[in-house]
Amino acid sequence: MVKFQGKVVLVTGASRGIGAAIARAFAAEGAFVIINYLQNELAAARTVAACQELGGDAWAIKGDVMSEGAVTEMIQQVLVEVGKIDVLVNNAFKPYEFDPDKRKLAWQLTWQDFQAQMDGALRSTHGLCQAVLPQMKKRSQGSIINIVSNLVARPIIPYHDYTTAKSAVIGYSRNLAAELGPFGIRVNCVAPGLVYPTESSRHTKEEVKEMIIAQTPLRKIASPEDVAGPVLFLASEWSGFMTGQTLYVDGGFIMK
Amino acid sequence: MQQQEIINAILAFISDQEGSAEVFDQLALQIFSYQYKNNLPYQSLCLQKGKTPRTVKKWQDIPAVTINAFKEVTLSCGDPRQAARVFMTSGTTQGVQGKHYHPSLAVYDQSMIHNFKRHFMKDTEKIRMGILFPTAAEMPNSSLAHYLALAVQEFGTQESHYLVDSQGANIDRFMMELAQAEHTGEPYGLLGASFSFVHLLDELARRGKQFSLPKGSRILDTGGFKNRSREIALEEFYHRLEFFLGVPRTACINMYGMTELSTQFYDEGNDILPSVKSGPHWSRTRVVNPLTGAEVPQGERGVLVHCDLANFNSVTTILTEDLGVKVAGGFLLLGRAQGAAAKGCSLAVEEFIESGRGRVK
Amino acid sequence: MKERAGYLPGISEDEVAWQTVTFTRNEEVLEVAVPVLAQEQMQQLAEQIKNNSRQVLKTLAIGEIVEILDKAVAVFLDRHSPYRRKAEQLLPIVTGYDPEVIRHGLTSFLKTFRKPQLLRFLAEDLGNISLLDDFQPRAKGGFAKAFGPDLIVHVWAGNVPALPLWSLLAGMLVKSGNIGKVASAEPLFAGWFANVLAEVEPRLAGCLAIVWWKGGDEEQERSLLGQGDVVVGYGSNTSLASLRSRIPVTTRFLPYGHKMSFGLVTKDSLDARKAWQTAHAAALDVIRYDQQGCYSPHFFYVQRGGAVSPGEFAKYLAHEMECFARRYPRRALSLEEMAAQAAWRQQEELTLFSTPTKEILGDDARAWTVVYEEGAQITPSCLNRTVKVLAVDQWEEILPQLIPYRPLLQTVGVASAPRELWQIAELLGRAGVTRITSLGKMTSPEAGWHHDGRFNLLDLINMVDIESAAEEYAERLAPYVD
């Protein structure tokens, strides 16, 4: 028996990369996966096809997670079509250039830099959580998983604005977990290290990768599929008594 | 799909002797989509359960509706005011009868005819019938009256008769008919409500009269006893049918049907009780745990759920109040799951209703 | 496992026919042998108990009786006593309730029958408890004494464990002989208690009996009911009506019918901090005995205007039900009960379309159902952890809804600030409610409560007056009169 038969899972930013890997993993366990994407319709369609091939079902829905209106509309549409959302994975994030050499130094950052990342990470997460809450509360169950980064625990390269926003998501998730526990809804985070290959890590220098690998007990860099496992775990009943947690998926780079 | 397309598809499937499981599944899902879209109370029930055309992948996933729902809400894809026929349940709750709307009887009739021929007529084309039930004109909202009228129209000889009218059983007519059949040696079919048979058997016993109907004669009873006659055990019932009418129990067929469906279930005689009932290829029966809807293991007691594709206008899948067990070749009917007695001293629904009417003394 | 039900003083086990009632819970099977007495045996038993009531019970002082009952109750409160252990082991099998629910329930219930509580019980009804021992002076002149009947017949119903104790102890307190008929749904506790009583005080051994007959056995009923001075009956209105028809008109009949109770949550208890606690208490009232008690809530009225809305309260309540479903699982339901649950739930689901503000919480897989509604009429729950939350603005709104059901109302569990409590109490009293308690305590009535608004002891006794005229007349006949 597959683990997510009859469950509906919404993954934001799921046309490619980590999001697509998560979507495929859910589909392989029988889930009905809603693939949210912003632009790449073709990639989204490929993920849908892959999900269906894996034995689950999928449906792509375009929508900008930064827009409150678009999010509300998207959730409404999902509910009309499939009746419920069991799991929400907030994976979409604002494009960010991870370049250790050309990153902004602390004294070069403006508040606008921070604001942009806060909007991309926290505001979109908040919007989606708000939108799925009424029906999760109604069904007295639900699992929300927010994808953050292991940089929050150890900024091996200080991407100030990006990492601060992801830290905010962890704080947000913990508070949400405390408030929603009494409704049977769980909120957790998954914090991957550097994941390769993805759109964001395509330009990561070999030297940086080597540096990270050298400090990673499992001696490799995470693949998108590595991230999916803990996400599925947090979505399943196996983690039924866990909420407000952050799981680090980085080969032991962070231990806490 | 539109109503007419749905009707055509079902009619084709009923006529298709092969009736493959794949086509059944496909058609069931098409009808589900149609009903989900056009039967709005049903849609809200499905949405509540998270079952939509997108997520329902096989006929077993189609949400079942309790028969009580026919009393509570209008379950119709088409405009109920346009219905060609409305069948109503005999049982009521708070004086409300369940209503089953049929925009056309084409499907109902084909379903009845195919199934009746196979299980009751078998190789016989026509048989002289005696009907122990009022006519369809007398009871226009009775599905059973329509069913029996159809039986007479399609399979009865010219000499077939109704032996019951609104005044009750016409005993003398009944005696005459049976005597006539005995005399001619022509097979005779006696069809009607189970409770009417009980009345007649009692009357025969009282008069000390016994018949021996010609070979090939057969009996169809249906509907149980429903407080309309004294409750008698099935064993006694079929024993007495055989004893007083001379029709072997293997030729005594019990039809199990309900107003909320458009297809009937039959057994192959009642020499062994309880008899195995089964439906035609356009229906499926599951035995479920009524709370979870999950099928119970074979051999375990559960509540019957019927998926009847001929129910194209209301809902295909009905959660009954009948207890049953799944067996090879069909299911056994074990009675009603009604009247769960209150265990404690908290108020039961029935008492509350009575109280609201000021009947608590 | 096997266990014998009943308590039949003066009749040996082999003189009686026994019938077996089988109970199963999970894998455990318990066969309970219930006694089937012949009519003559029943008559004989009734005679014997009446005699003992006259010759033994009526000669004991009320203080002594209270001491004896206190000792017997202590046996059941002692978790190491064999009887208590048996009760904890077997009652879950008989009733299907979770062992922990039974354990807590028994203790909280039995605590209301210790000596101080029994004395309060007596004081509540009689004022002066010596009324049961001697003629007591009356303020207006003259004297009066309370006489209990020789025989009270109790016809118990239901599966809420130990419930028969209320009327049985009330009968003992008024120095009456008692014969109780146990329900097949819980035939054991009353018999155990009678045995303990006889062990604690052998003089009482012949003053009570616990019997059984198949419900509706008219002959048995008629023969015993005719013997009683008072008949206390529990059950549905239908069964009470049939019971009443078999009781001689001169016999006092005290019927306790099935009741409907509910909860009432004011906006004061719905702020960000207290809403959860309120929901927790409400859920406890629902899960205890799976709403089978007359004091169990069928629905909760919840007031709008608090920080947490009635709709949100319903969701807190739903999750509390889910938590309790794991901590104290629901009794295993029969197929019939499951079908009733499914039908009830579907009826709600199908009306979602016509009442879009309605919400049905949880899903089919849950061992509970919470329904939220606005502007709805009250309806009874189908029990077994099924409740409605009804949104209300003003408490005055509920009065017209309740009045048609006046004879059915009993307990209301209230969460409100002090000032409002009194206003609500006045309102509910007018609607026919007889017990107002706190949310979370609905299933544990206090000692000395007025069951269904009546006097537990006063309804059993006769007051015998010596009027002042008799006293004055007697004065004239005194040998020492001048």
Q: Where are the domains of chain A?
A: 8-249
pLDDT of B278 over the 90 cut: yes
Closest residue in A to C317 (Cα–Cα): A183
8 A C-beta contact, residue B280 and residue B246: no
Within a domain: residue C166? yes
Same domain membership, residue C246 and residue C321: no
Q: Distance (Å) from the C-alpha of residue A20 to the closest C-alpha of chain C?
A: 29
What pLDDT does residue C233 have? 94
Mean pLDDT calculated for residue range A116-127:
96
Size of interface A-C (CB pairs under 8 A): 28
What pLDDT band is residue B19 in, cutting at 50, 70 and 90? confident
Segment A25-58, tens digit of pLDDT: 999 999 999 999 999 999 999 999 999 999 999 9
Same domain membership, residue C332 and residue C282: yes
Q: Distance (Å) from the C-alpha of residue B77 to the closest C-alpha of chain C?
A: 14
What pLDDT does residue B43 have? 93
Same domain membership, residue C88 and residue C226: yes
What pLDDT does residue C365 have? 82
- Mean pLDDT split into 10-residue runs, chain C, 482 residues: 94 92 92 93 94 94 96 96 96 94 93 94 92 94 95 91 90 96 94 96 95 83 89 90 90 92 96 94 95 94 96 97 94 88 88 91 89 90 94 93 91 96 95 96 88 91 94 92 84
Q: What percent of chain A has pLDDT over 90?
A: 89
Which residues numbered 106-165 in C keep a CB inside 8 Å of some CB on A? none
8 A C-beta contact, residue A23 and residue A47: yes
Kindly report the length of chain A.
256
What pLDDT does residue C429 have? 95
What pLDDT does residue A93 have? 86
Instruction: For residue A225, give Cα distances in angstroms to A22, A198, A199, A222, C317.
Output: 7, 11, 15, 8, 39
Contact flag A83-B51 (C-beta cutoff 8 Å): yes
Within a domain: residue C446? no
Provide the CATH number for the domain around residue C418: 3.40.309.10
What pLDDT does residue B360 have? 35
For the question of residue A37 being annotated catalytic, the response is: no
pLDDT of B359 over the 50 cut: no
8 A C-beta contact, residue C175 and residue C148: yes
Q: What percent of chain B has pLDDT over 70?
A: 89
Q: Distance (Å) from the C-alpha of residue B296 to the closest C-alpha of chain C?
A: 12
Same domain membership, residue C265 and residue C254: no
Q: Which CATH architecture has domain A8-249?
A: 3-Layer(aba) Sandwich (3.40)
Same domain membership, residue C226 and residue C91: yes
Sheet holding C462-466, edge to edge: C136-137, C143-147, C462-466
Segment B49-70, tens digit of pLDDT: 999 999 999 999 999 999 888 9
Residue B241 corresponds to which tokens in the numbers above?
């049918």
What pLDDT does residue C159 have? 81
Choose among C234, C347, C365: nearest Cβ to B68. Answer: C347
CB neighbour burial string for B209-243, b if at least 16 within 10 angstroms, e if fewer: eebebeebbbbbbbbbbeeebeebebeebbebbbe
Segment B241-267, tens digit of pLDDT: 999 999 999 999 999 999 999 999 999
Indicate the SS3 state at residue C304: coil
ipTM for the assembly: 0.91
What pLDDT does residue B345 have? 67
What pLDDT band is residue B338 in, cutting at 50, 70 and 90? low
Least confident interval from A10-14, B347-351, C156-160: B347-351
Within a domain: residue C474? no
Choose among C157, C237, C335: nearest Cβ to B301. Answer: C335
Same domain membership, residue C404 and residue C295: yes
Domains of chain B: 1-104+281-313+321-335 (no CATH), 106-277 (3.40.50.980)
Structural domains counted in chain C: 2
Interface test with B, best of C91, C184, C237 (most B CBs within 10 A): C237
Segment A80-121, tens digit of pLDDT: 999 999 999 999 988 888 888 889 999 999 999 999 999 999
pLDDT of B361 over the 80 cut: no
pLDDT of B357 over the 60 cut: no
Which residues numbered 28-47 in B keep a CB inside 8 Å of some CB on A? 46-47
Indicate the residue type of B143: S
8 A C-beta contact, residue C126 and residue C463: no
Same domain membership, residue C305 and residue C364: yes
User: Domain containing C75: what range?
Assistant: 2-258+451-466
**How many angstroms separate the CA atoms of B121 and B228, rounded?**
28
Same domain membership, residue C236 and residue C101: yes
Within a domain: residue C471? no
For B357, counting Cβ atoms within 10 Å of its Cβ (0-12 exposed, 13-18 middle, 19+ buried), the class is exposed
Same domain membership, residue C264 and residue C253: no
Same domain membership, residue C198 and residue C304: no
Mean pLDDT calculated for residue range A134-141:
94
Indicate the SS3 state at residue B122: coil
Provide the CATH number for the domain around residue C27: 3.40.605.10
Mean pLDDT calculated for residue range B164-182:
83
Q: Look over chain B and give the mean of its residue pLDDT values, rounded to a whole number.
A: 88
List the one residue out of B191, B190, B198 whose CA is nearest residue B229.
B198
pLDDT of B103 over the 70 cut: yes
What pLDDT does residue B199 have? 86
Same domain membership, residue C371 and residue C251: no
Contact flag B351-C351 (C-beta cutoff 8 Å): no
Within a domain: residue C142? yes
Interface test with A, best of C280, C319, C369 (most A CBs within 10 A): C319
pTM given for the model: 0.90
Same domain membership, residue C174 and residue C28: yes
Contact flag A138-C359 (C-beta cutoff 8 Å): yes
What pLDDT does residue B347 have? 67
Interface test with A, best of C274, C320, C361 (most A CBs within 10 A): C361
Mean pLDDT calculated for residue range B217-240:
80
pLDDT of B335 over the 50 cut: yes
User: Quick check: B292 contacting A, CB < 8 Å?
Assistant: no
